[in-house]
Amino acid sequence: MLVTLIAALAGDRVIGESSGRIPWDHPRDRAHFRARTEGRWLLVGRRTYAEMEGWFGDRTPIILTRNEGFRPFSPAHRIANSVPTALDLARANGVPELIVCGGASVYEATLPFADRLVLTRLAMALQVAEPVQFPDFAECGEWCLRQVERWPAADGTSPARLEVHERKEK
Ligand SMILES: NC(=O)c1ccc[n+]([C@@H]2O[C@H](COP(=O)([O-])OP(=O)(O)OC[C@H]3O[C@@H](n4cnc5c(N)ncnc54)[C@H](OP(=O)(O)O)[C@@H]3O)[C@@H](O)[C@H]2O)c1
């Protein structure tokens, strides 16, 4: 099973605010995220799951939480109390690719298990009081940039670059 992390990053790898908000609206990235996750199994942290309430449709989220009393919005949504448990659950269901959708703590916890990073790099710098960041994956030298797609600015949104990184063969 492939493990893919998907995220949108502004300058300095900022992915949101600690209060739990993504401080931009980028329609092209939203469309890309919808298409890339359609019909798929996703892994999300409990906070990101709450932010995405009502959005999942035909996708199957596994919610990562240590709270044994946690109840998902839908009985079709699954729960795991650790990353290995989530990976086992997805494998047991024959999932070919598990897509990790954040937030920050879940990207951090799943990076060691990841095969692929699908990153939208938004050409914007943000001034947010308490930013949360995507992990500094490049520093370990284990990743290779395999694909780049440039998105020009449109309808008042910033230009962006879609990057696909794959883990280097050992
Ligand atoms: N730009 C993007 O692409 C993007 C995507 C998604 C999210 N975000 C942003 O990311 C921020 C949220 O990130 P966050 O780190 O605060 O929250 P989060 O990762 O969504 O959720 C954190 C919660 O997930 C559970 N969890 C995390 N790691 C776990 C582990 N290893 N085992 C078991 N449970 C685990 C814990 O839940 P319990 O407390 O219930 O135990 C933890 O409190 C927001 O600003 C959001 O907007 C950005």
Query: Three-class SS string for 53-97?
Result: CCCCCCCEEEEECCCCCCCCCCCCCEEECCHHHHHHHHHHCCCCE
CA 25 to ligand 1 centroid distance, Å: 20
Ligand 1 pocket member 63 (CB < 6 A): no
| Number of domains within the chain | 1
Q: Are strands 97-100 and 2-9 parallel, antiparallel or unpaired?
A: parallel
Closest ligand 1 atom, residue 7 Cα? 3
Question: How high is the pLDDT of residue 156?
Answer: 86
Question: How high is the pLDDT of residue 7?
Answer: 98
Residue 50 near residue 33 (C-beta atoms within 8 A): no
pLDDT in tens, the chain (170 residues): 999 999 999 999 999 999 988 889 999 999 999 999 999 999 999 999 999 999 999 999 999 999 999 999 999 999 999 999 999 999 999 999 999 999 999 999 999 999 999 999 999 988 888 999 999 998 878 999 999 999 999 888 899 999 999 999 87
Find the distance separating the first CA and the last CA of the chain, reported in whole Å.
18
Question: How high is the pLDDT of residue 99?
Answer: 99
Question: Looking at ligand 1, which residue's alpha carbon is closest to its atom 48?
Answer: 15
Spatial separation of the C-alpha atoms in residues 139 and 13, rounded to whole Å: 13
**CATH for 114:** 3.40.430.10
Ligand 1 pocket member 160 (CB < 6 A): no
Question: How high is the pLDDT of residue 169?
Answer: 81
Ligand 1 pocket member 67 (CB < 6 A): yes
The range of the structural domain enclosing residue 18 comes to 3-167
DSSP 110: H
Question: Looking at ligand 1, which residue's alpha carbon is closest to its atom 13?
Answer: 103
Ligand 1 pocket member 42 (CB < 6 A): no
Q: Count how many Cα atoms sit within 13 Å of the Cα of residue 64 in the half-sphere of its side chain.
A: 24
Please state whether the predicted TM-score (pTM) of the whole model is above 0.85.
Answer: yes
Spatial separation of the C-alpha atoms in residues 39 and 58, rounded to whole Å: 5
Question: How high is the pLDDT of residue 90?
Answer: 98
